[in-house]
Amino acid sequence: MKKILIVTYHFPPVNNIAARRFGEMAPYMREFGWEPFILTTHSEGDLPVGIPEGHIIRVGKNYSSGKLRTSEEGYRGIPRLMKPLYFLYKKLGITITSVDRFTFGWYRDALKHMSRIEDINPDIIIATHAPVADLRLGRRIAKKLHKPWVADFRDACSLINDSRFPFATVFDKMLDKRIVKSASLVTTISPTLARVFETFYKKPVALIFNGFDETGREARGALPGGKKEKILYYAGRFHAHRLGATFLLIDWLAGHPHAKLTLRSLGPSEANDRILAYAKKKHAGDRVLIKEPASPDVIRNEEESADVLVLFEDIASVRPFSQTNVTGKLFEYLPFRAPILAIARKDSDIGYVLGDTGRGQLVSSAKELNSALSQLLAKQPEVPDYAKIARYSRKAQCEILCKALDKLAVDSP
């Protein structure tokens, strides 16, 4: 069996979408001829670790554990003489996304375990962005072992540089391309990013969606009927770019007293306060309920009983590449019976998946939202056609990845 080393700062038990990408794909790899080994951090959370701990090299603490502040990670390991320069660089707002706060911390600590990596002797290395330090590690390890490596991107790197200084954006793109130059393959999560990366990196690109877990999907078909109050449901984080879509739905709620929006919010608390204040302003405060974060089992039960499962994304169309945000929550929704309502920009790649699976609608305006909810709430929910959603399962996506790795292993000396 061939061996793959996956370099990923985020990995279970920490429970975030970055950890889920390979944390929930790695357990399937053996079925397709690849033995997974992981280089990652020590972390805390409730996401199951699907492979033996003996196959995992854990270095340092994941900042998501709550015990290591992101700002502290930023200065950790920086040589003393460089700290004033780093401070000035941050103070001026010079953004270089190809050099992140982990370059002098976790990157250097992980390299101290090179002998353990050499003992594994992987056939291929995958390194996933972000952080960029993962890509740097993948490149360094591949060069040391004379093995091919794959650069995996969950989002764009230098292409979303928002620095006020033109020289910074040019330099950033140069660094970005230099890091990926030695990679044999680029993988990413959305059709638009795949097209962009082929042109930007001039590398072959494989589209690997995050996918959904097939475990227990048969139990997701039951949905209580006869409810007078319709429940619209979302569980996740409210980044600033999602608030516009949230407010759009609250505007709709103001004119529909028999519907209720239930949110399991991961924060931030400022976003929660803004949502509740807006709902109160629109006289819909009694129909917007924000609950505390809960366990995956609790969230799953709530998703199963919802009438519509909602996704909030950017509707302003001004943030670079925001149309490529194909949130992992979308794939988690696919096996459920309730239809999906995505509020996002018109060209969002979420629309590609919804159209391909027939699982819901994407809307970008109040008029579209009203029309979509009128249709979705009037229809009797149906058990999803598994033939349509099957290729978006995590196992199916893992198989696509492993076939690409097989080809890479054959083509590489």
pLDDT value of position 61:
85
Token digits of residue 147: 């093995």
Q: Cis link prior to 130 (omega < 30° from 0)?
A: yes
Average pLDDT over residues 187-194: 93
d(CA 152, CA 8): 10
pLDDT value of position 14:
87
Q: How far is CA 208 from CA 225, 232, 366, 367, 407, in A?
A: 36, 29, 32, 33, 15
pLDDT value of position 72:
45
Q: Is 137 exposed, middle or buried (0-12, 13-18, 19+ CB in 10 A)?
A: buried
Token digits of residue 355: 């159209």
Token digits of residue 78: 């920086």
pLDDT value of position 400:
95
Which amino acid is present at 406?
Answer: D
d(CA 252, CA 340): 16
Average pLDDT over residues 203-228: 71
pLDDT value of position 323:
82
pLDDT value of position 85:
61
How many C-beta atoms lie closer than 10 Å to residue 270's C-beta? 10
pLDDT value of position 202:
95
Is pLDDT at 399 greater than 90 in this prediction?
A: yes
Q: What is the mean pLDDT of the chain?
A: 86
pLDDT value of position 113:
92
d(CA 413, CA 406): 13
| Strands, E assignment, 18-122 | 34-42, 56-61
How are the residues of the chain apportioned to helix, strand and coil, as percentages rounded to the nearest 5? 45, 15, 35
Is pLDDT at 12 greater than 60 in this prediction?
A: yes
d(CA 273, CA 101): 30
pLDDT value of position 67:
45
Is pLDDT at 170 greater than 80 in this prediction?
A: yes
For 115-151, give the DSSP string.
HHHHHH--SEEEEEESSHHHHHHHHHHHHHHT--EEE
pLDDT value of position 79:
62
Q: For residues 187 and 317, which has the higher predicted lDDT (pLDDT)? A: 187
d(CA 145, CA 138): 11
Q: For residues 87 and 148, which has the higher predicted lDDT (pLDDT)? A: 148
Count CA atoms within 13 Å of residue 139 on its CB side.
Answer: 18
Average pLDDT over residues 343-371: 92
Closest residue by Cα to residue 114 from 7, 199, 218: 7
Is pLDDT at 80 greater than 70 in this prediction?
A: no
Token digits of residue 33: 């001829």
Closest residue by Cα to residue 151 from 294, 12, 7: 7
pLDDT value of position 9:
93
Q: For residues 99 and 9, which has the higher predicted lDDT (pLDDT)? A: 9
Phi-psi category of residue 202: left, alpha or beta, with phi > 0 → left and psi -120 to 50 → alpha:
left
Is pLDDT at 76 greater than 60 in this prediction?
A: no
pLDDT value of position 395:
93
Percent of the chain with pLDDT over 90: 52
pLDDT value of position 155:
87
pLDDT tens profile 24-70: 999 999 999 999 999 999 988 888 898 999 999 999 888 765 544 44
Q: What is the pTM of this model?
A: 0.84
pLDDT value of position 278:
94
Token digits of residue 62: 């994941």
The answer to whether 384 and 357 are in contact (CB under 8 A) is yes
Average pLDDT over residues 236-242: 86
pLDDT tens profile 272-293: 999 999 999 999 989 899 998 8
Q: In which band, very low, low, confident or very high, does the pLDDT at 73 lie, cut at 50, 70 and 90? A: very low
Is pLDDT at 236 greater than 90 in this prediction?
A: no
pLDDT tens profile 245-271: 999 999 999 988 889 999 998 888 899
pLDDT value of position 69:
42
Average pLDDT over residues 148-167: 87
Is pLDDT at 382 greater than 60 in this prediction?
A: yes
